[in-house]
Amino acid sequence: MLRLWLYGTVVPGVLGLVAMAAIVLPGDGDDLTYTRLFTGGGALIATCALGGYVGGRVAGHRL
């Protein structure tokens, strides 16, 4: 159960936050725009959903 929570929730959540931060946080001093904010939010949602699915499948797979 802990493995499912870790691989299905924690890892995709951290990867989603990293993906969002890479898009949203300005690296060159630009201001945050709605386009970057919504794109970063979309990347967060997509990464968490896809990563949660894949992580859940991996954690549920018995060797």
13 pLDDT band, cuts 50/70/90, is very high
1 compared with 62, residue with greater pLDDT:
1
Give the Å distances, CA to CA, from 44 to 22, 60, 62: 10, 23, 29
- Does this model's pTM top 0.85? My answer is no
Per-residue pLDDT of 27-63, as tens digits, reads: 777 788 899 899 999 999 999 999 999 988 888 776 5
